[in-house]
């Protein structure tokens, strides 16, 4: 954990190159731009989950709840009350944060498998509400007719505008997490993952920090969910399905848990596989599953961990 | 509250049982400021269970624990840590994937606060890092302070255990078999380390190595099946026939 030393010119150059490349994506056409936006949205989602799995050691299996609550809040406020998507976005993130605080309050009382089950149970509870409360949520058919807002006179109906909004959100979350992980607060999360008993003996109220991590992760997932609402202008109960929580876990582990960059790679790998393979075969999940198993067996540190070992000389950014 | 005549630590009729198994039976014990108190006894005598109760990992069935005159019975481990009881563990219990420096920095940060700072890098706190280095020097860990704990030698990890306990700036230090598994040279270094600790610090030391015990201790308490068999000055303990019979052994 050597953190905080000023980045080398080489590292800075790579960062700038990556950001410029991301900025140029819309030149490649609508299809790729849409896919890239989706990758960045799920990267936010996976990064937020990695704060729990990779940094605090909390294996949450209900993270879709906080993604979905935000999307639902935004789309429901827009469709039923005609609220602007921007206010809906803020309200969505706020709702996700509150939901994470409440669910976290109960879940952190246990750890390990019981923790996993409780987080999943709460997410399933929210999903059944979304399925049953048809008049508000549209149930399994979903809720369409959301009007995307405008930004400086540019409509978010436009794929390119959408993409840039998503990119800005992604970069903000990315740099926030980098700061957080290197900070005193972040070091406490890492300490809890490493050795909870020792953190207690040192005098840290561990439960309080688990709840902070859980709430923060929920808020960040809510940002992802809000951007997803702006991107899709549609929401259905699928967004709260447990399989989405599972996808996020796969992205985190595939890319490299306990790293900031890993989940981005995980999201990209997962969605590219989904898009490329599913155009050839219905059984695309079979391939995702196979690759996931091979990754866990042969690249236990994930894609990013492997790349870093292979090419990197420096500690992770 | 701060009654200066009060003992640093006082156990009043401490009792702990798991079902029918009694691990601590009516134990009375005191540690004063600056006292080096050794707790000895055969395996299974209840020494570590006693330390777990003092540090809050285990809740006693009955009896009271007073620290600086205040009742801390049943307080949580983190609260007890904040009040000024530091401990080491019998088996190395460190942050294995973090560096030596980061291990101590985390423990020190627990006392220094600034917990919720989330935008400035932890490494920007130069003053804290200087203190970290001072503690590592104090426990004689001089080189390779950015090495991961997992890559340290066993003896170095033992020393780091003490560093973490000291970093929480305790008034009472609980050392659970600090020299277990150490080579004679490493044991010498540990004795030297404990002797160099601040004079006002109270130390409760669990130890099997009689050389360490008789070199360091001002007072010795012998536990036997959860009960205090004898308490006294090292010479009195050495000459106590009961203690010789059950623990020290005539051959020693």
The pLDDT tens digits of the residues spanning B171-180 come to 999 999 999 8
Residue written as token pair 């960062």 = A15
pLDDT at B247 over 90: no
Which range has the worst mean pLDDT, A143-147, B7-11, B31-35? A143-147
Give A270-275 contacts, CB < 8 A, sequence gap 24+: A270/A42, A271/A35, A271/A38, A271/A39, A271/A42, A272/A35, A272/A39, A275/A35
Q: Which residues in B lie closer than 8 A to residue A179 (C-beta atoms)?
A: 118-119, 121
Q: How confident is the model at residue A262 (pLDDT cuts 50, 70, 90)?
A: very high
Of all residues in chain B, the percent with pLDDT exceeding 90 is: 71
Structure-model confidence comparison of residues A245 and B4, the more confident one: A245
Nearest to B205 by CA among B192, B193, B189, B216: B216
Contact yes or no for A195 and B96 at CB 8 A: yes
Torsion angle, alpha carbons of B223, B227, B229, B232, to 10: 70
Q: What is the pLDDT of residue B5?
A: 55
Per the CB < 8 A criterion, the answer to whether A183 and B117 are in contact is yes
Number of CB pairs, chain A paired with chain B, less than 8 A apart: 110
Contact yes or no for B118 and A3 at CB 8 A: no
pLDDT in tens, A174-212: 999 999 999 999 999 999 999 999 999 999 999 999 999
Contact yes or no for A200 and B123 at CB 8 A: no
pLDDT in tens, A125-153: 999 998 889 888 887 888 888 888 878 87
Q: Find the mean pLDDT for residues B9-19.
A: 93
Q: How far apart are CA A107 and CA A214, in angstroms?
A: 9
Per the CB < 8 A criterion, the answer to whether A48 and A63 are in contact is yes
B151: its two tokens:
């890559």
pLDDT in tens, A203-223: 999 999 999 999 999 999 999
A149: its two tokens:
């807002």
Q: What is the pLDDT of residue A310?
A: 79
Q: What is the pLDDT of residue A3?
A: 44
pLDDT at B54 over 90: yes
Q: Find the mean pLDDT for residues B88-111.
A: 94
Q: What is the pLDDT of residue B164?
A: 94
Q: Does B100 touch chain A (CB under 8 A)?
A: no
Which range has the worst mean pLDDT, A44-53, B1-10, B26-35? B1-10
Q: What is the pLDDT of residue B81?
A: 94
A161: its two tokens:
């505008």
Contact yes or no for A3 and B81 at CB 8 A: no
pLDDT at A315 over 70: no
Which of B55, B56, B118 has the CB atom closest to A179's CB atom? B118
A206: its two tokens:
């561990």
Q: Which residues in B lie closer than 8 A to residue A259 (C-beta atoms)?
A: none
Q: How far apart are CA B147 and CA A59, in angstroms?
A: 28
Question: E strand or H helix at B87, and its extent?
Answer: strand B85-87
For residue B115, give how far its alpha carbon lies from the nearest alpha carbon of chain A (Å). Answer: 5
Q: What is the pLDDT of residue A145?
A: 83
pLDDT at A273 over 60: yes
In A, minimum Cα distance to B124 occurs at A4
Which of B76, B93, B117 has the CB atom closest to A185's CB atom? B117
Of all residues in chain A, the percent with pLDDT exceeding 90 is: 58
Q: What is the pLDDT of residue A148?
A: 83
pLDDT at A314 over 80: no
- Measured N-to-C along each axis, helices A302-311 and A242-255 cross at an angle, to the nearest 10 degrees, of 10
Mean pLDDT, chain A, integer: 89
Q: How far apart are CA A231 and CA A237, in angstroms?
A: 17
Q: How confident is the model at residue B44 (pLDDT cuts 50, 70, 90)?
A: confident
Provide the whole-model pTM.
0.90
Q: How confident is the model at residue A4 (pLDDT cuts 50, 70, 90)?
A: very low
Which of B78, B107, B168 has the CB atom closest to A205's CB atom? B78
pLDDT at B3 over 50: no
Q: Which residues in A lie closer than 8 A to residue B99 (C-beta atoms)?
A: 1-2
């Amino acid at each position: 954990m050597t953190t905080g030393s000023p980045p080398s010119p080489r590292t800075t150059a790579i960062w700038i190159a990556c950001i410029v490349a991301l900025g140029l994506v819309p030149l490649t056409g609508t299809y790729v731009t849409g896919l890239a936006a989706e990758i960045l949205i799920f990267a936010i989602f996976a990064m937020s989950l990695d704060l729990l799995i990779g940094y605090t050691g909390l294996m949450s299996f209900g993270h879709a709840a906080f993604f979905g609550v935000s999307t639902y809040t935004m789309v429901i406020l827009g469709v039923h009350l005609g609220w602007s998507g921007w206010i809906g976005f803020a309200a969505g993130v706020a709702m996700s944060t509150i939901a994470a605080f409440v669910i976290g309050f109960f879940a952190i009382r246990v750890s390990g498998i019981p923790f996993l089950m409780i987080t999943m149970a709460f997410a399933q509870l929210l999903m059944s509400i979304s399925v049953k409360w048809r008049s508000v949520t549209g149930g399994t058919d979903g809720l369409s007719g959301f009007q995307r807002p405008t930004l400086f006179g540019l409509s978010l109906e436009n794929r390119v505008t959408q993409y840039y909004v998503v990119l800005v959100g992604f970069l903000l979350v990315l740099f926030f997490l980098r700061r957080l992980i290197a900070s005193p607060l972040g070091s406490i999360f890492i300490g809890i993952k490493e050795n909870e008993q020792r953190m207690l003996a040192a005098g840290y109220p561990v439960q309080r920090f688990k709840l902070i991590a859980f709430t923060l992760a929920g808020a960040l997932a809510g940002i992802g969910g809000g951007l997803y609402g702006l991107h899709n202008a549609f929401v259905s109960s699928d967004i709260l399905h447990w399989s989405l929580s599972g996808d996020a876990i796969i992205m985190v582990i595939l890319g490299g848990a306990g790293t900031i960059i890993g989940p981005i790679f995980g999201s990209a790998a997962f969605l590219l596989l989904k898009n490329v393979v599913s155009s050839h075969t219905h059984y695309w999940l079979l391939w995702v599953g196979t690759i996931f198993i091979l990754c866990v067996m042969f690249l236990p540190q994930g894609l990013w961990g492997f790349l870093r070992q292979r090419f990197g000389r420096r500690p992770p950014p | 509250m701060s009654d200066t005549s009060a003992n640093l630590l006082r156990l009043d009729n401490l009792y702990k049982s798991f079902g029918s198994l009694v691990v601590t039976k009516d134990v009375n014990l005191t540690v004063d400021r600056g006292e080096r108190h050794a707790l000895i006894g055969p395996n299974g005598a209840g020494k570590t269970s006693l330390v777990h109760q003092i540090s809050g990992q285990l809740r006693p069935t009955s009896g009271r624990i007073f620290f600086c005159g205040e009742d801390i019975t049943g307080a949580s481990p983190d609260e007890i840590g904040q009040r000024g009881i530091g401990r080491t563990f019998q088996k190395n219990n460190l942050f294995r994937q973090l560096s030596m420096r980061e291990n101590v920095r985390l423990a020190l940060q627990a006392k220094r606060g600034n917990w919720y700072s989330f935008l400035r890098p932890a490494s920007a706190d130069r003053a804290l890092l200087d203190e970290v280095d001072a503690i590592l020097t104090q426990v004689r860990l001089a080189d390779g302070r950015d090495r991961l704990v997992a890559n340290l030698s066993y003896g170095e990890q033992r020393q780091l255990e003490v560093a973490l306990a000291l970093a929480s700036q305790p008034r009472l230090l609980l050392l659970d078999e600090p020299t277990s598994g150490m080579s004679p040279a490493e044991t010498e270094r540990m004795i030297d380390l404990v002797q160099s600790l601040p004079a006002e610090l109270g130390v409760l030391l669990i130890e099997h190595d009689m050389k360490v015990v008789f070199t360091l201790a001002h007072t010795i308490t012998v536990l036997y099946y959860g009960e205090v068999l004898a308490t006294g000055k090292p010479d009195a303990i050495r000459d106590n026939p009961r203690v010789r019979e059950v623990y020290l052994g005539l051959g020693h």
